[in-house]
Each structure stands twice: as C-alpha cells, then as structure tokens.
Amino acid sequence: MAGTLAEKVWEQHVVRRGEGEPDLLYIDLHLLHEVTSPQAFDGLRLAGRPVRRPDLTLATEDHNVPTTPGPITDPVSRTQVETLRRNCEEFGVTIYPMGDAEQGIVHVVGPQLGLTQPGATIVCGDSHTSTHGAFGALAFGIGTSEVEHVLATQTLPLKPFRTMAITVEGELAPGVTAKDVVLAVIAKIGTGGGQGYVLEYRGSAIRALSMEARMTVCNMSIEAGARAGMIAPDETTFEYLRGRDHAPTGADWDAAVEAWRELRSDDDAEFDAEVVLDAASLTPFVTWGTNPGQGSPLGEAVPDPEAMGDDNDKVAAQRALEYMGLTAGTPLRDIHVDTVFVGSCTNGRIEDLRAAAEVIKGRRVADGVRMLVVPGSARVRLQAEGEGLDRVFTEAGAEWRLPGCSMCLGMNPDQLAPGERSASTSNRNFEGRQGKGGRTHLVSPLVAAATAVRGTLSSPADLEPVRVEETV
C-alpha cells in the first residue's frame, strides 16, 4: 500500500497494535535537558523502576545555563542543573554538562553528533524536537509524564497522526532563507493549522536547502501546531551524516543508506491535507504580533485588525498590537529595536552565524542597540571562532557568548527588560517570552544582522555598501 514518509517511519516502530488502543511505538533516541526531566526521574525512583535503555538516552544542560563565563548564580537554576547531573549519575545516563566540549542546545547536539538519523523515532521533553525531522526522522516533543514513560519503557503509546504535505516549489530569491519560508508557512496555515498533523515539507525549494536550513524549517513546525515536521532524506542528508561520530561506518553505512533511500512518500501516497507555496513569491518575513502566525513580509506595514474577517483574529491582533506597542499602518521597516538576538535551536548553527557575520562584517551595530550572538553548542562556538566569526561580531560591537538557549526564553540572565523590543532569530514571540514585558519580532539571521546595523527592522538589501578603504 502506498504510504507517506511519516507513515513508513511509524510502521517500522510499532511494538504492539491493539484494537481500540493507541499503537505502542519504539523510541530510538531520547534526549533530555534539565527543565522537563526532574519530575520524571522522581517518578522512576518512587516506582523503583530503572531507565530501560540508558544507551539510547542522552542529556545536556541548555535552558538555564549562563552565556557569560562563570557558574550559575541563580540558586534555583543551579539546583535544577545539579538535579539533572545527580539523576544521570544515579540512572547511568550520559550527560554533557556546562563546559563540556559536547554541551549545547539539545537539538543542536543530536544532529552534530550524528545521533539524529533518517527513519529514527526521536523524542525529548521539548516542543522543538521537531527539528530532527529534517533528517527524515519522526521527532516530536513530549511532556514530563511521557519522558518518564520513555525512560521506563523506551516506548510511547500514540494515536496515529494525520499527514499534511507542505510543498514549496521554485527558487528562493537571494536574501530569502529557510526562516522566511517557515514563517510564511505559519502565517498561511495559522498556529492551529497543523494540530494533529505531521507536516512533510517537499518540493524543489526544500530539496535545495542545506541540512541546517532544513532543521530551521522543521524546528518551527510546532509553531503551526504540528508536533512534527519531516523532510525525506536525500544525498544532502547522507553527506551531512557521513563521518559523524555516531554515524554508521563500513558495511553498516551501506546497509543504513540502503534503508534510508526507501524513506520517501510514495508518488501515489495520499496526504490528509496539502498546502502549496511558491518559493519565488517569498520575501524576508517578520512577525509583528504575539504568536508566530502573526507575521508579514518585511516590506509591508503593521496590519489593521479592523480589516480582519475572523472575530477571534481581530481581537487577538488588537491585543497583540497593544502589547507590542504598535500602530496599524506603520511600515515594518520603521520599527526600532533595542536588542538583536542571534541564536537558539532555530538559528544557532554555524551557517546561521556565518550568514549574520557576512552581513555585519565591516559594519557597526547601531548606537543604542545591543546584539547578542549565542552559538547553539560548544562545537559551533569553536568552529565559529576557528573561522574568525567571533571577531567579526565583536569588532562590529556585538557580544559573543557561550552556548545555550539564552534569550530565546530567558530562563538564564539573558532577558529583555519590560517594554524592550527585540529582533530575534528564535522561534516564539509570545508575550513575555524573552523577559516580562519584552516585545519580540521573529526574524532570520540575515534580517537580524541588518536590523542591528540600522536599528530598525531591515534586510541586508537596505544597507549601504561597506566602504572599502583604499590603500595608499
């Protein structure tokens, strides 16, 4: 029978199927961090249960960690991190703590180690687990009760998802990135449009994306309400994986690639829903509201809630503009920001940092604007420093930080003050997400860097050319 990519991966992991029950699915990789795991380990301890597969479980510290040198000063944050370390030691789970060469944001660490592989089932107590779907894995966020369930059984009882094809055909214009694609998708289908679905991104524009760009797209599937987003693996995927620490080698590699090549939706597979976007029509996209679906092309103006047809949309937009301190009709390019944040599991990988550095090189961060650049992992940081990107940023007046989730959600000291406005390469513009009273505009790394230079929401095309000093 013809099947979609998601259905094929699902079928390969069914441990048990019972009438009137959810399927019991096997989990290939379980990622942990300090925020959503302590109560799960507590549950195991109370029930006297071990971790069934410590060898398929990996922990890293990311949400609470400071991005400046030194220990965690907030005692409650410190307790949470120390609790994770104690739990990992007690239950025999591998952990990459602060300062370790492998530490980083959980969704950056898995792929760079080669643990994220096509056709795998991957879960984590974190909604941005959808990131790993870029490899053709079925990867989704779970709650703490489910974390405990996976620790105890290496399985999850799940009802099948519906499937939605998001087809993006054509070529993206220069300066239009994966972030713009996914923001446009969310604006089109809404924050609830993907509920109950696994999204499969396909089409020539998606196939042309690098692995890191594909991760950016899949990462934000959850912002459209979908638990998972997937992209069929291809040569780009295999090349990214080849030679990574945990990628198969020798005959195993050949066997794996043979299996991975089968992981694509059949030509006659039926999706429950389909959405089509024309890549050539996309331009840099930014959000103006307080959910990721409230976004518009950068060239447009803050929309007028009164012009919205749906009553719920209208009320939500009115509330959002009030919170954001914006007036309908203001050109988006006229919006001044105080802070620019480059980082997060959405846009904290090496290609993102290179893109931002390319724009900011030879330029200066505008007066009155602070720019934070936070690599997604210790490896990304070292690689960036090896390429001299850290100096590009610091010479432009930006701050170069240590890896972690940082200002994406402000569980560490990196927060917006009340009323402060950011252009952020992260994934959520919810009220107070980056700090109580903070106002967030979601943008791509290119838009972030250009905005830092001009001080207002901008794309690189808005910048004056860099003046090259003539040598005498």
Partner 1 sequence: MEKFTTHTGIGVPLRRSNVDTDQIIPAVYLKRVTRSGFEDGLFAAWRNDETFVLNDPTFAAGSVLVAGPDFGTGSSREHAVWALMNYGFRVVISSRFADIFRGNSGKQGLLTAQCSQDDVELLWKLLENEPGTSVTVDLESRTVTAGDLVASFEVDDYTRWRLLEGLDDISLSLRHESDITVYEASRPAWKPTVTA
The SS3 assignment for 198 reads strand
At 100, is the secondary structure helix, strand, or coil? coil
Cβ count near 137 (within 10 Å): 29
Q: How far is the CB of 469 from partner 1 (least distance, A)?
A: 45
CB nearer to partner 1: pick between 217 and 256 = 256
**What is the spatial distance between Cα 22 and Cα 3, in angstroms, rounded to a whole number?**
19
Q: Strand 29-32 vs strand 57-60: parallel, antiparallel, or unpaired?
A: parallel
Rule CB under 8 A: choose which of 5, 58, 359, 457 binds partner 1: 58
* Site membership for partner 1, residue 253 (CB under 8 A): yes
Choose between 4 and 121: whose C-beta lies nearer to partner 1.
121
Task: Say whether residue 73 binds partner 1 (CB under 8 A).
Answer: no
Distance of closest approach, residue 276 Cβ to partner 1, in angstroms: 24
Tell me the per-residue interface mask from 351 to 390 with partner 1, x by CB under 8 A, - otherwise: ----------------------------------------
Which residues from 81-100 bind partner 1, rule CB under 8 A? 83, 94
Note whether 472 binds partner 1 by CB under 8 A.
Answer: no
User: Among 259, 276, 417, 461, which residue sits at the site for partner 1 (rule: CB under 8 A)?
Assistant: 259
User: DSSP 3-state assignment of 315?
Assistant: helix
Rounded to the nearest whole angstrom, what is the least distance from the CB of residue 282 to partner 1 in the complex? 24
**CB 71 to partner 1: min, Å:** 16
State the minimum distance, in angstroms, from the CB of residue 248 to partner 1.
4
Burial bucket for residue 317 (CB in 10 Å: 0-12, 13-18, 19+): buried
Give rounded-to-5 percent helix, strand, coil for the chain: 40, 20, 45
For residue 456, the 8-state DSSP code is B
Residues 409-438 that bind partner 1 (CB under 8 A): 409-411, 428, 430-433, 436-437
Among 68, 145, 204, 281, binds partner 1 (CB under 8 A): 145
Q: Is 218 annotated as a binding residue?
A: no
Query: How many residues in the shown chain lie near partner 1 by CB under 8 A?
Result: 84
β-strand 138-141 against 121-124: which pairing, if any? parallel
Which residues are within 8 A (CB) of 4 and not within 5 positions of it... i.e. 6 or more apart?
163, 165, 200, 265, 266, 269, 270, 271
Whole-number Cα distances in Å, 375 to 192, 381, 393, 400 = 30, 5, 12, 8
Among 276, 280, 315, 461, binds partner 1 (CB under 8 A): 315
Quote the least distance from Cβ 171 to partner 1, whole Å. Answer: 32
Among 217, 316, 359, 448, binds partner 1 (CB under 8 A): 316
DSSP 322: H
Which residues does 256 contact at the CB level (< 8 Å), separation at least 6? Answer: 117, 248
252 binds partner 1 (CB under 8 A): yes
Instruction: State which residue, 36 or 425, has the beta carbon closest to partner 1.
Output: 36
Nearer to partner 1, 57 or 177 (CB): 57
Binding mask 153-182 for partner 1 (x = CB under 8 A): xxx-x-x-----------------------
Determine phi and psi for 311, rounding to 5 degrees: -60, -40
248 makes contact with partner 1 (CB under 8 A)? yes
- For 394, the 3-state DSSP assignment is helix
88 is in an annotated binding site: no
Residues 6+ apart with CB under 8 A from 70: none
Per CB under 8 A, which of residues 36..55 are in contact with partner 1? 36, 38-39, 42-43, 47, 49, 52, 54-55
Task: Check binding of 28 to partner 1 (CB under 8 A).
Answer: yes
- Encoded amino acid at 180, one letter: D
| Sequence ranges of the binding site | 345, 405, 408
